[in-house]
Amino acid sequence: MNNGRLYDGFLPGRYPFDAYGNGGFRFADMSHRGSLLALPSGIRAWPINSVAELTDEALDPIFAESNELELLLFGTGTDIVAFPAAFRARFRDAGISLDVMQTGAAARTYNILLAENRKVGAALIAVP
């Protein structure tokens, strides 16, 4: 039962990004407004609009799949911003490499590494 919603914000499987901008992303013949997590299990809506909004809870879905991830690309929006040291330590402790960059670069890099069948994920903050 979907409680009247058309979707639950999750698409199982791994898909490249076709486009980004205008506050969202295009992938798998669909579009989504807002930020996304692209993890080995699938792509899910992510209620984060800036690095300043990050919490341990917001990062939990990433660490739940740490056995399937070697690298997480973190797209910070239109500008590269400092990633909090405490969160960097959490990635290091989980054995996940972290690469922080603009969202566009993260989406493009994700597509390349996904095509190479790498153990990659992406946390992408939507850009206007």
pLDDT average, residue stretch 86-111: 97
Sign of CA dihedral 16, 64, 96, 79: positive
Find the mean pLDDT for residues 81-106.
97
Average pLDDT over residues 6-33: 91
> Measured between alpha carbons, how far is 79 from 58 in angstroms, rounded to an integer?
20
For residue 7, pLDDT over 80 is answered with no
pLDDT single digits (tens) 52-63: 999 999 999 999
Q: Measured between alpha carbons, how far is 21 from 34 in angstroms, rounded to an integer?
A: 10
Domain parsing of the chain, residue ranges: 10-124
For the cut 90, the answer to whether the pLDDT of residue 126 exceeds it is: yes
Q: What is the mean pLDDT of residues 82-103?
A: 97
Mean pLDDT, range 100-118, rounded to an integer: 98
pLDDT number for residue 9 = 85
Torsion 114-47-54-19 (CA) sign = positive
Q: For residues 105 and 73, what is the distance between their CA atoms, to the nearest angstrom?
A: 9
pLDDT in tens, 17-28: 999 999 999 999
Mean pLDDT of the chain: 93
| Whole-number pLDDT of residue 12 | 94
Specify the pLDDT at position 55: 97
Architecture category of domain 10-124 in CATH:
3-Layer(aba) Sandwich (3.40)
Q: Give dist(CA 4, CA 31) in Å, integer.
A: 19
Evaluate if residue 44 carries a pLDDT over 70.
yes
